[in-house]
């Protein structure tokens, strides 16, 4: 492809995955689409990763985002992986995604640029390799909202609409999402090589992963055990953050858990309105395996699957290896709880630690649950001290709780103003409300993208406490008791 000089794309590829054992990927190219159109481009992200916005908006740029052309300086591939889906082990792989390359950003970070929905690959199984517009815009909205909420996540660079008609329950417009991630190495990638590769190949993947994501442990004794520990630590922080803002991933299969600690794959995810640990939204999660309250234990289950793959590298004696791995799972539980309770303290404006804090937090959560109250708006109201609207604040239980809370705040040296600031940076003023997301997607289906742009804008700084955000934090008139999300589309 010939680029005009003013529109130097900014590619700075340094592809390293391709040097891993061949089993881990297949070189393949996107399948061209007809009549692509850019629906949304994340200009800030483009800039941050060193790409030229003018180029991306040009015909040549669109051709790359649509998979109709590939930059000369890269080799594209689909990654192999396996995974436990709802507890069942399956062969998977990038069935509808293709890695365009690893971009080295101006800050020196290495990021995968991947097209999702870009056509069949050798791992497509019975799938068509394609994605529909709604789900790709949904991934865009949710991933960028998580980023705004300061939660580690894969990012969305662009969504391109195509003229392909995607056959789902009905014909849907096709789309391709450009995803940017620290890497796409998953628990499932390790499961794949542990099951179908040699010990040397497993070691190569583990060494590569350490170099790429945990360079601080590269030269430490028993770095493979430390890989479990460090990965589990990032996951404990990630999942605690989900719990603290009421995010339900919805499909925490082991292929949807990254080793980097970023949230990935936003199919049936949603934010909880009324607080209830049993909340689930995914239509395919019939038994509530991935319900809100189960996320920490499912996280541990997934990390156990990860640890299993590394057993032969941890210790020659299998029993000993299992014991060491189990210690790391125990450590995960301790960490997730400690990240969570510290996050909860911050949500209540508490700076220091007291043993009784966990009881204080749980008493409030019980009250929110029993009064069937909105999770986000309870904390928002406490933050701005607006306690005259919601019913929960009129109960005797709340008044009693509030006295304890006030006494607790009085026992720390920080002022009420400092507490308020802490609360403001930990309690979002707005989250992607399910009805707002649906409303934006429905309009987008009818070629009106204005609602989506407005929503993205409002969600970009959720700790801003603007009046526009107040409007978007309202619940729909009839809270969707039966709100369902669908994945695999
Ligand atoms: P997910 O549920 O999105 O994590 O996807 C699970 C697996 O199914 C992954 O290996 C995907 O690449 C694959 N997959 C999902 N949708 C399609 C599709 N339309 N065509 C081919 N593969 C797909
Ligand atoms: Mg997935």
Q: What is the pLDDT of residues 363-415, one digit of tens each?
A: 999 999 999 999 999 999 999 999 999 999 999 999 999 999 999 999 999 99
Please check whether residues 195 and 273 belong to one and the same domain: yes
- Is 95 near ligand 1, meaning CB less than 6 Å away? yes
Residues 261 and 113 in one domain: no
Which residues, in sequence order, are bridge partners of residue 40? 159
- Count of CA atoms in the C-beta half-sphere (13 A) of 452: 27
Q: What is the pLDDT of residue 489?
A: 53
**Which residues does residue 41 pair with via DSSP β-bridges, in sequence order?**
158
* Pair 360, 479 in one domain: yes
Domain boundary among the residues 184, 199, 228 is at 184
d(Cα 269, Cα 255) in Å, to the nearest integer? Answer: 15
Range(s) of the domain holding residue 28: 17-184
- Same domain assignment for residues 348 and 247: yes
Best of 77, 78, 92, 167 for a ligand 1 pocket test (most atoms within 8 Å of beta carbon):
92
Q: Is residue 8 part of a domain?
A: no
> What's the whole-number average pLDDT of the chain?
96
Q: Which protein residues have a CB closer than 5 Å to ligand 2 (ion)?
A: 256, 265
Catalytic site residue from 112, 163, 221, 255? 255
* pLDDT surpassing 90 at residue 7: no
Question: Is the distance from the beta carbon of residue 117 to the nearest atom of ligand 1 less than 6 Å?
Answer: no
DSSP letter at 410? H
Q: Are residues 42 and 124 in the same domain?
A: yes
State whether 346 and 224 are in the same domain: yes
342 φ, ψ (degrees, to nearest 5): -65, -40
Mean pLDDT for 259-281 is 96
Q: Are 270 and 248 in contact (CB under 8 A)?
A: yes
Last residue of a domain, one of 154, 184, 214: 184
pLDDT at 120 over 60: yes
Query: Hunting for tokens 């101006």 — which residue is that?
Result: 106
Which one of 184, 204, 234 terminates a domain?
184
For residues 455 and 412, membership in a common domain is answered with yes
Distance of CA 438 to the CA centre of its chain: 19
Distances (CA, A) of 175 to 56, 138, 143, 155, 468: 16, 12, 17, 16, 30
Q: Name the 3-class secondary structure at 449.
A: coil
In the chain, % of residues over pLDDT 70: 97
Tokens read off for 68? 């109709």
Q: Is residue 7 situated within a structural domain?
A: no
Same-domain status, 36 and 58: yes
Each residue's pLDDT tens digit, 443-487? 999 999 999 999 999 999 999 999 999 999 999 877 655 667 765
Please tell me whether residues 136 and 263 are part of one structural domain.
no
140 has pLDDT over 80: yes
- The number of distinct structural domains making up the chain is 2
Same domain, 437 and 488: yes
Average of pLDDT values for 281-308?
Answer: 95
Average pLDDT, stretch 207-232? 98
**Residue (of 225, 227, 287, 243) closest to 88 by Cα position:** 287
pTM: 0.97
Q: What is the pLDDT of residue 488?
A: 45
Co-location of 305 and 354 in the same domain: yes
Q: From the CB of 116, is ligand 1 less than 6 Å away?
A: no
Same domain, 152 and 193: no
């Amino acid at each position: 492809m010939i680029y005009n000089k003013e529109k130097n794309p900014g590619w700075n590829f340094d592809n390293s995955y391709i040097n891993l054992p061949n089993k881990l990927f297949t070189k393949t190219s996107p399948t061209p689409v007809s009549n692509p159109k850019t629906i949304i481009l994340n200009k800030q992200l483009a800039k941050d990763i060193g790409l030229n916005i003018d180029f991306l908006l040009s015909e040549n740029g669109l051709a790359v985002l649509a998979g109709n052309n590939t930059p000369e300086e890269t080799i594209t591939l689909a990654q192999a992986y396996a995974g436990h889906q709802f507890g069942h082990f399956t062969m998977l792989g990038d069935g509808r995604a293709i890695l365009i390359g690893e971009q080295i950003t101006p800050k020196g970070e290495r990021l995968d640029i991947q097209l999702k929905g870009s056509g069949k690959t050798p791992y497509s199984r019975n799938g068509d390799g394609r994605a529909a517009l709604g789900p790709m815009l949904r991934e865009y909205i949710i991933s960028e909202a998580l980023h705004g909420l300061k939660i580690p996540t894969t990012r969305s660079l662009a969504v391109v609409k195509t003229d392909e008609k995607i056959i789902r329950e009905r014909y849907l417009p096709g789309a391709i999402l450009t995803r940017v991630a620290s890497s796409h190495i998953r628990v499932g990638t390790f499961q794949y090589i542990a099951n179908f590769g040699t010990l040397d190949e497993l070691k190569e993947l583990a060494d590569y992963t350490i170099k790429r994501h945990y360079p601080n442990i590269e030269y430490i004794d028993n770095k493979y055990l430390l890989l479990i520990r460090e990965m589990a630590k990032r996951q404990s922080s990630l999942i605690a953050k989900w719990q603290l803002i009421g995010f339900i991933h919805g499909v925490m299969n082991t292929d949807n858990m990254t080793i980097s600690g970023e949230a990935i794959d936003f199919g049936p995810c949603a934010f909880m309105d009324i607080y209830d640990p049993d909340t689930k939204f995914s239509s395919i999660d019939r038994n509530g395996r991935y319900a809100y309250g189960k996320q920490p234990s499912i996280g541990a289950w997934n990390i156990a699957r990860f640890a299993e793959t590394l057993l032969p590298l941890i210790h020659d004696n299998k029993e000993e290896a299992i014991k060491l791995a189990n210690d790391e799972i125990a450590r995960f539980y301790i960490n997730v709880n400690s990240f969570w309770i510290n996050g909860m303290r911050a949500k209540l404006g508490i700076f220091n630690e007291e043993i009784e804090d966990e009881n204080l937090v749980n008493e409030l959560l019980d009250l929110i649950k029993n009064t069937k109250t909105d999770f986000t708006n309870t904390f928002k109201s406490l933050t701005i001290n607006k306690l005259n609207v919601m019913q929960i604040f009129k109960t005797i239980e709340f008044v009693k709780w509030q006295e304890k809370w006030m006494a607790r705040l009085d026992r720390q040296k920080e002022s009420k103003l400092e507490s308020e600031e802490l609360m403001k940076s930990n309690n979002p003023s707005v989250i992607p409300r399910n009805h707002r997301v649906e409303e934006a997607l429905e309009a987008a289906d009818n070629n009106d993208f204005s609602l989506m742009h407005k929503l993205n804008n409002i969600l970009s700084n959720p700790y801003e406490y603007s009046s526009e955000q107040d409007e978007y934090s309202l619940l729909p008139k009839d809270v969707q008791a039966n709100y369902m999300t669908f994945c695999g589309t």
